[in-house]
Amino acid sequence: MRMRRGIAAASVILLTGAAPVAQSATAPRAAQRGDVAAIRYTGTLIQGGLIRGTVPLGTVTLTLDGAPVGIAGGRFIAGFDRDAGGIAVLAATMADGRRVTEMLAIAPRDWAISRLSSLPKYPVPSAEFQRLRPEEIKQIVAARATSNVTDGWRQDFVWPVKGRISTTFGSQRIYQNGEAGSYHSGIDIARATGTPVVAPADGVVILAAASPFTLEGNLLMIDHGMGLNSAFLHLSRIDVKTGDRVRQGQLIGAVGKSGRATGPHLHWSLRWHDAKLDPLLVAGAMN
């Protein structure tokens, strides 16, 4: 594929309905001839994708569309939300004031859309739900606001559990009068209750629900560092506690159907700051 100078070729996953049908790896972006410095990265320039890269020597700040991006030892990660589109601007500023920018073309995707025109968008919430939900949201927001020193973000992620993918990232329902429901922010893996769940990468536990949440059930969240975190929903049990450091592959809980779930499965979601990411693009295909 020939791209304009400053636009890097991306690894693209084309979706037909919900299943990936083609996939290719992205090579590190090489410096343009004559450049004295460049931002280099690998990953997937696509909605829900994640890139990892290095900044030019002497970089003091890095931004993505004007928002700060963390740097550790000259390395960084950046993610693109399900609804990201068009061109994103990655900019590194040197100590001497020089600025290096990369224009990133974020590829769009087709999403699995279900139309349920006979159903209203929202059921009437119960009084109990209305009483409990604000405190649950407060705990989730507070957990995501914490920052921990951990190198999990540097690792190649593994699947917390393997099995049949029952609901894909980004899928969405359209209800009565064309009202759109919230899109599916993670990936659902159907397995029997009690199936072990392991940490996909190193991290620090930032939330281990003391009791089941109304929607998420037994909720566990892990900070992998640099703004990247995982959430595991509907667990039958949680085997770690808030503040614990976990290692990749460590047992952290078990599959269940707690909270609002019609059957046993693991819902795994990933976020980089506010950008919701597709775990399939981060962990790769199940082997």
Question: Among candidates 41, 48, 54, which has minimal Cα distance to 8?
Answer: 41
pLDDT tens column, 225-275: 999 999 999 999 999 999 999 999 999 999 999 999 989 999 999 999 999
- Indicate the average pLDDT of the chain: 86
Are 222 and 229 within 8 A, CB to CB?
yes
Say which DSSP state 217 is in: B
Question: Given a cut of 90, is residue 113 above it in pLDDT?
Answer: no
SS3 string, 20-67, reads: EEECCCCCCCCCCCCCCCCCEEEECCECCCEEEEECCCCEEEEEECCE
Q: Which residues pair with 228 in a beta bridge?
A: 225, 272
pLDDT tens column, 47-87: 999 999 999 999 999 999 999 999 999 999 999 999 998 99
Which domains are present in the chain? Answer: 14-106 (2.60.40), 124-170+184-279 (2.70.70.10)
Whole-angstrom CA distances from 58 to 38, 64, 92, 153 are 11, 18, 9, 22
Q: Which residues pair with 223 in a beta bridge?
A: 204, 229
- The per-residue pLDDT for 16 is 28
Question: Given a cut of 80, is residue 135 above it in pLDDT?
Answer: yes
Q: What are the φ/ψ torsions at residue 88 (nearest 5 degrees)?
A: -110, 145
Question: Given a cut of 80, is residue 200 above it in pLDDT?
Answer: yes
pLDDT band at 4 (very low <50, low <70, confident <90, very high): very low
Residue 255 or 6, more confident: 255
Rounded distance between C-alpha atoms, residue 185 and residue 165, angstroms: 14
Question: Among candidates 236, 232, 230, 239, which has minimal Cα distance to 189?
Answer: 232
Percentage of residues in the chain having pLDDT higher than 90: 73
- The per-residue pLDDT for 183 is 86
Question: Among candidates 42, 49, 52, 37, which has minimal Cα distance to 13?
Answer: 49
- The per-residue pLDDT for 246 is 98
Q: What is the pTM of this model?
A: 0.86
The bridge status of strand 196-198 relative to strand 237-238 is unpaired
